[in-house]
Amino acid sequence: MTTRASHRIALFGDRDLLHVAAVAAAACTLSAGVVYLGYFVHVLRVARRAPCRPERGECVLLFGKHAPGGRIDHDFEARLDRAVSLWSERPPRSVVLLGGGAADQPSEAELARRGLLARGIAADAPIRLEAHSRDTLENLRNARELLGEGMRARVTLLSSRYHLARCAWFARELGYDFELCAAEPRLRLGPRMLLRLAGEAAYVCLSDVGARWARLIGSQRLLARLR
């Protein structure tokens, strides 16, 4: 079993997560779905409006993507292509590649490093790997520790359009000064993309409603899960 799979299975037995999920489900149900619809519109708006060119980010955080057997899919390829494009226009001071992997397989960060090198990025480029995280929150939490004092500068969060609202939400909770950068030139809507956006809306809804509920009841334990 991969570390990602075991991590997800463990979440089903997480009492805090079940608590938050119940609250979020109640909010969506009692509002006749209006609460969830609001998050879906937010995720869609971020996906549509995110720029492809950062304004002043000094460090790029490149989010990896699940790559079973080391096989990089189209979304992951698009993220790497965008990183190379940024590099050719205005090289960042540093790039942090995010994402772990199974013990017997290369991490998402390592696959990203190989992909960048294959696309012509120099071997001595200022690249650092964060190869132990299993989800977006851990991506950003571990990157925060890796950056240290460097986190005070603005960072660019580079990922697929559908994923950016989630990245932004966690980055804000963790105290980042950030800007977004979309891998794709524009959002292409279709059945598969709508399903992705719907899933991301549910994730952001769960996180945001959970954080608001934790603050309302004064639960420092719940809030600590997001920091």
Q: Residues in the chain, how many?
A: 227
According to DSSP, the residues that pair with 156 across neighbouring strands are: 60, 179
Using only C-alpha atoms, what is the Rg of the chain? Answer: 18
- Fold of the 52-182 domain: Rossmann fold (3.40.50)
CA distances from 49 to 42, 43, 83, 185 (A): 11, 10, 19, 11
Distance, in Å, from the CA atom of 74 to the CA atom of 81, rounded to the nearest integer, reads: 10
Which residue has better confidence, 45 or 69? 45
The pTM (predicted TM-score) of the whole model is 0.91
Question: Which range among 4-18, 38-52, 150-164 shows the weakest confidence by mean pLDDT?
Answer: 4-18
Q: Is the dihedral of CA 67, 70, 73, 75 positive or negative?
A: positive
What letter represents residue 225's amino acid? R
pLDDT of 199-217, one tens digit each? 999 999 999 999 999 999 9
Reduced to 3 states (helix: H, G, I; strand: E, B; else coil), residue 85 is: helix
Pick the closest to residue 99 from 128, 77, 57 (CA basis): 128
pLDDT of 101-113, one tens digit each? 887 889 999 999 9
**All structural domains of the chain with their residue ranges:** 3-47+190-224, 52-182
